[in-house]
Structure 1
Amino acid sequence: MPDKVHLHQEKEEARLSALQSNANAVKSVAQAVASTLGPKGLDTMLVNSKNEVIVTNDGVTILDRMEITHPAAKMIVNVAKSQQDEMGDGTTTATLLASALVDEGVKQVTRGVPVTKVIAGIQRGIRFALIKMQERARTIYELDDEWLQRIAFTASRENEDITLAVIEAAHMVGREKLLEKGFKLSSCVVAHPRIESNVFSGIVISKTRMNPQMPRKRENARVLVLADALEPESFSDEVRTDEAFNRKERLREEFYVMLEHLIHLNVGFIVTDGAVDPHAEEVLTDAGVIVVSEVAREELEKVSEYTGARQIKRSGLKKSPEEIEALLGYCSEVEDDEVLARIRITGGHGKPFATILVGAATEEVVEERERICKDAASAVQAAIHGGFVPGGGAVELAIGRDVEHFRDTVQGMERFGVSAVAEALQRPMSQVVANAGFNPLEKIEAVKALQLKRQSDSLGIDCDRGTVADMIEMGVVDPLPVKAHALQTAGEVAIAILRIHTVVKMKEDPVF
């Protein structure tokens, strides 16, 4: 019997050791981005073996570029990437929440609470917190809503030029397009070190014309969007016979007739996602047509939507000229912008689009401005989708109080997992306050007392003066979808890490 007890103790110690190791790794990764949070957050310099430097306060950039070997730490990096892919903002908040949930969960397990109960409690606590967060959201009905500008200003790290550019682009695109599933305003951002920052109604595609003999600019151009190669149809001709040769020549002749039809229809701009036959390139160049080949599918779709062109396959070119004409789009101008090294299209007859051009003096600075602009664009679109909540960690602190009340209604040991959620929700404000140079414990207690007294979810800390202030009145707000996704994703990865019972190194694959 003593041997069994001893064996059980060893297993328990090994499990706690693995859990604590994972928690420490997660905490060390979170600390790498913690100092960037809030208005007083600082930048991080990333340096590689070639002494190449990136200076940024973008959480996902830091985590993606830093050297990480611990498997649990890599899971936290995936939290930031998921947040970035889905929301385009809030990566640091998601990382801090995940770290705090793991830390608080480990504390409860160390106290003797079964890990399964802690996990179940965390799941219940997060579900409850997300409901409460939704209830506290303020809706944005119009693009002229002043809160939209405040959200862009906060997300752009208080860069006024980027704020104005993002808001202008949102107006150009329109509410309907912003609410469209699959459309991302952040995809409209184009950065280059040798351009002036501005916004225009139109699109750019990341290609140039096929050769410099083609015109650099065409006005009032009909547009053909070919989701195929601009080449004669091919067929299997393994057996070289006269019949196969004649068929090949017939297909080539048909293809040349199609090209003549396009020229007679006054097509001025052709985009394809495949290669272009050399003879076709020569003929179209002589006719003054701008041709762009091997364009990515998503850009092909953008051109189609913006110009009103229907995407067609190579076989569609066999249609009559009248039928082809009905499939063409239109733009008032297409230009090969030599500075941007991209094709710029304006005056499309399809759906509205906007492009935000971001410039800066150097490559390093322009990359950071691009990231900031994309964050602001994502935040604006998220707010239009789901409204906004008080920022500065205020809403998390208020919801943490709701979760504490909810914990009192939970029976059994799951309540300890709910407690972990309540504690973790204090982390964002705690970090913002610490980065501003104040004592987090003192300030958070002051905010909690006043939030309770005034029944407010918008009280936080003024990071300039260190006093309790209303975040809504200060204009410090965040999009609800960004906050909610950060909490949900953080919960999922924290639970996955807490479930890890043992870490076993896999054997290397045999080398043959």
Structure 2
Amino acid sequence: MAQQMGNQPMIVLSEDSQRTSGDDAQSMNITAGKAVAEAVRTTLGPKGMDKMLVDSTGNVVVTNDGVTILKEMEIEHPAANMIVEVAETQEDEVGDGTTSAVVVSGELLSEAEDLLDQDIHATTLAQGYRQAAEEAKDILEDVSIDVDADDTEILEQIAATAMTGKGAENAKDLLADLVVRAVSSVADGNEVDTDNIKVEKIVGSAVENSELVEGVLVDKERVHENMPYLVEDADVAVLDDALEVQETEIDAEVNVTDPDQLQDFLDQEEEQLKEMVDQIVESGADVVFAQDGIDDMAQHYLAEEGVLATRRVKSDDATKLARATGATVVSNVNDIEADDLGFAGSVSQQEVGGSQQLLVEDVENAKSVTLLLRGGTEHVVDEIERAIEDSLGVVSVTLEDGKVLPGGGAPETELALQLRQFADSVGGREQLAVEAFADALEVGPRTLAENAGLDSIDSLVELRREHDAGNDAAGLDAYTGDVIDMEEEGVVEPLRVKTQAIESATEAAVMILRIDDVIAAGDLKGGQVDAGGDDDGGPPAGGPGGAPGGMGGGMGGGMGGMM
């Protein structure tokens, strides 16, 4: 970038920098965003397909979870990454709807492209999109259905809907029941902390053998063979400390001139360990979970006292144990008191999925539970875990908000209908942006139909007709191709999944549309910044993968092969 000063050019940017501005910058960014949406679009809906992602080390992930696909693809183009953030926000906030959010973002950009070609200013578009998004949230609130936290049937339907089209679908009824029971166990009124639900994957057996343990499963075993396998009515101590002799904090050297001195030294260490164990026994503890090490001699003393102990417990497991049993985590073993102990009806060592684990059950206040997920192979059980995490998210959100929407593209069709009517009341060119927003939302039902092998135009026409007639719960049954009442069918999703998707998709699209200058401090990996090709006649940006120009490294090679 150089400015002319008299006859002398003034260099403002470094030679390595690249700049794309005006229509070229907008076009490049829109193309990048659309390409991201296209990458995940075929995974949407109950008949969506999966993606196989292979990283540079050969690890394979098979999934149709939108956010997982986009993370694994290692997308590098900055505008494309803004769309990836939409999926990540959706995942963090509500746990499901990541693919829908990304596809809507891509469609908003696509609709905007046509309007930009008609010389409608990007700021006008942004204003219209924001107005439409605000109105859309009000419309969704009006058509939402109230749900009682005690209505387990609807909660199970919500959990099952979140799993539909994923690897867990065959056993979705059983898994939905487990998810609802798990969330209900840890719910505190309308507040749900899903961190209190531990998900353990076990390769082997069938998905149908998955189960819920009301308590905590710790992937550890007792440290000494003379310790009991089972302790009933257990008083549980959780230590953030080691049962070992303290090392001196400064470098010290001990000179031993007499064997008796060495023996005294060893006896003193033993005495220290014995005192620690005595302190634990005096507190009344008969089960010990230590986050640090336990000396061999301390293990021996604990075993003599009939105490079941394990060491090097992960800190999040220790937190769950404390929550479940009511114990207080003790940071110094010498300070342990009876009041610090928790209670469990049973602590036992059992074989789970081929390995020995400690199972803490029958806790009075099971505010921490464990979902044991089984599957025939590692890839299967990984995909089931992703489905379960989405499901846990939507059930938690429903308990917190108490509002749901029908699925099957029903909310999008109703929004499109009402937003077109709303557009008439919007003045100026923003009206065109609101209409474009309404058209963009119909990408949901259209994609559902396409992925199910149906005629998308016929399906959309039928959906519009039903909604025109006042049936706002009419959605598309991807299996039969019929338009049916989704509320009656039990296909529902939380209101917040849809409102969050529209909010984040709109914000990302507006941000991308308002960019008219891209200045890169250096070459974007794998390709030039500008969409047309480099200055010295090199190949267009995006690399050999076949992705649109300007997609850069990870998007060029990586995404080109994906689509």
Same fold (TM over 0.5): yes
Of the candidates 300, 310, 319, which is equivalent to residue 318 of structure 2? 300
Q: CA deviation at 1:331?
A: 1.0
Q: 1:311: which partner in 2?
A: 329
For the residues of structure 2 that align with 1:471 and 1:293, how far apart are their CA atoms? 51
Relative to structure 1, the CA distance from residue 202 to residue 175 in structure 2 (aligned partners, 3 Å threshold; closer, same or farther) is closer
Q: CA deviation at 1:303?
A: 0.8
For the residues of structure 2 that align with 1:166 and 1:122, how far apart are their CA atoms? 36
State the TM-score, normalized to the length of structure 2: 0.77
Relative to structure 1, the CA distance from residue 180 to residue 328 in structure 2 (aligned partners, 3 Å threshold; closer, same or farther) is farther
Q: 1:462: which partner in 2?
A: 477
SS, match of residue 75 in structure 2: coil
For the residues of structure 2 that align with 1:250 and 1:487, how far apart are their CA atoms? 68
* Gaps in structure 2 of 5+ consecutive residues: 1-18, 256-266, 524-563
Partner deviation per Cα, 1:326-374 (whole Å, 9 max, x = no partner): 2200112223344344432111133444322111211111212222222
- Preserved CA contact (<8 Å) 2:45 2:451: yes
Relative to structure 1, the CA distance from residue 443 to residue 278 in structure 2 (aligned partners, 3 Å threshold; closer, same or farther) is same
- Preserved CA contact (<8 Å) 1:230 1:314: no
For the residues of structure 1 that align with 2:287 and 2:153, how far apart are their CA atoms? 40
For the residues of structure 2 that align with 1:106 and 1:211, how far apart are their CA atoms? 69
Q: 2:174: which partner in 1?
A: 164
TM alignment of 1:197-346, pairs within 5 A? 197-210=210-223, 214-231=227-244, 236-237=249-250, 256-277=274-295, 279-314=297-332, 317-318=334-335, 324-340=337-353, 341=355, 342-346=357-361
For the residues of structure 2 that align with 1:230 and 1:255, how far apart are their CA atoms? 7
For the residues of structure 2 that align with 1:168 and 1:115, how far apart are their CA atoms? 48
Relative to structure 1, the CA distance from residue 258 to residue 431 in structure 2 (aligned partners, 3 Å threshold; closer, same or farther) is same
Q: 1:445: which partner in 2?
A: 461
State the TM-score, normalized to the length of structure 1: 0.84
- Preserved CA contact (<8 Å) 2:152 2:180: no
* Gaps in structure 1 of 5+ consecutive residues: 1-11, 243-248
- Preserved CA contact (<8 Å) 1:165 1:199: no
Partner deviation per Cα, 1:286-331 (whole Å, 9 max, x = no partner): 434333334343322211111111223217x336xxxx11220011
For the residues of structure 2 that align with 1:300 and 1:348, how far apart are their CA atoms? 15
Q: 2:531: which partner in 1?
A: none
Pick which of 55-64 and 178-187 moved more. Answer: 178-187
For the residues of structure 2 that align with 1:332 and 1:175, how far apart are their CA atoms? 17
Of the candidates 496, 500, 504, which is equivalent to residue 515 of structure 2? 500
- Preserved CA contact (<8 Å) 1:187 1:374: no
For the residues of structure 1 that align with 2:426 and 2:290, how far apart are their CA atoms? 60
Relative to structure 1, the CA distance from residue 260 to residue 205 in structure 2 (aligned partners, 3 Å threshold; closer, same or farther) is same
SS, match of residue 359 in structure 1: strand
What code does the residue aligned with 1:329 have? G
What code does the residue aligned with 2:457 have? L
For the residues of structure 2 that align with 1:212 and 1:79, how far apart are their CA atoms? 52
Pick which of 228-237 and 215-224 moved more. Answer: 228-237
SS, match of residue 122 in structure 1: helix
For the residues of structure 1 that align with 2:481 and 2:520, how far apart are their CA atoms? 48
For the residues of structure 2 that align with 1:235 and 1:401, how far apart are their CA atoms? 74
For the residues of structure 2 that align with 1:211 and 1:426, how far apart are their CA atoms? 63
Specify which structure has the higher proportion of helix.
Answer: 1
Relative to structure 1, the CA distance from residue 126 to residue 103 in structure 2 (aligned partners, 3 Å threshold; closer, same or farther) is same
Q: 1:77: which partner in 2?
A: 84
Relative to structure 1, the CA distance from residue 306 to residue 256 in structure 2 (aligned partners, 3 Å threshold; closer, same or farther) is same
Relative to structure 1, the CA distance from residue 110 to residue 270 in structure 2 (aligned partners, 3 Å threshold; closer, same or farther) is farther
Relative to structure 1, the CA distance from residue 257 to residue 70 in structure 2 (aligned partners, 3 Å threshold; closer, same or farther) is same
Pick which of 265-274 and 365-374 moved more. Answer: 265-274
Partner deviation per Cα, 1:85-113 (whole Å, 9 max, x = no partner): 22221111111112122222333233222
Pick which of 326-335 and 50-59 moved more. Answer: 50-59
Q: 1:369: which partner in 2?
A: 384
Check if 1:193 corresponds to 2:203: yes
What code does the residue aligned with 1:88 have? G
For the residues of structure 1 that align with 2:268 and 2:434, how far apart are their CA atoms? 74
- Preserved CA contact (<8 Å) 2:191 2:400: no
- Identity percentage of aligned residues: 31
Pick which of 305-314 and 369-378 moved more. Answer: 369-378
Q: CA deviation at 1:129?
A: 1.3
For the residues of structure 1 that align with 2:102 and 2:186, how far apart are their CA atoms? 32
Of the candidates 402, 406, 414, which is equivalent to residue 398 of structure 1? 414
For the residues of structure 2 that align with 1:109 and 1:210, how far apart are their CA atoms? 69
For the residues of structure 2 that align with 1:185 and 1:166, how far apart are their CA atoms? 18
Relative to structure 1, the CA distance from residue 207 to residue 32 in structure 2 (aligned partners, 3 Å threshold; closer, same or farther) is farther
For the residues of structure 2 that align with 1:250 and 1:102, how far apart are their CA atoms? 74
Relative to structure 1, the CA distance from residue 215 to residue 17 in structure 2 (aligned partners, 3 Å threshold; closer, same or farther) is farther
Relative to structure 1, the CA distance from residue 116 to residue 234 in structure 2 (aligned partners, 3 Å threshold; closer, same or farther) is farther
For the residues of structure 2 that align with 1:377 and 1:193, how far apart are their CA atoms? 21
Relative to structure 1, the CA distance from residue 361 to residue 500 in structure 2 (aligned partners, 3 Å threshold; closer, same or farther) is same
SS, match of residue 106 in structure 2: helix
Task: Give the aligned CA root-mean-square deviation in angstroms.
Answer: 3.5
TM alignment of 1:116-131, pairs within 5 A? 116-131=123-138
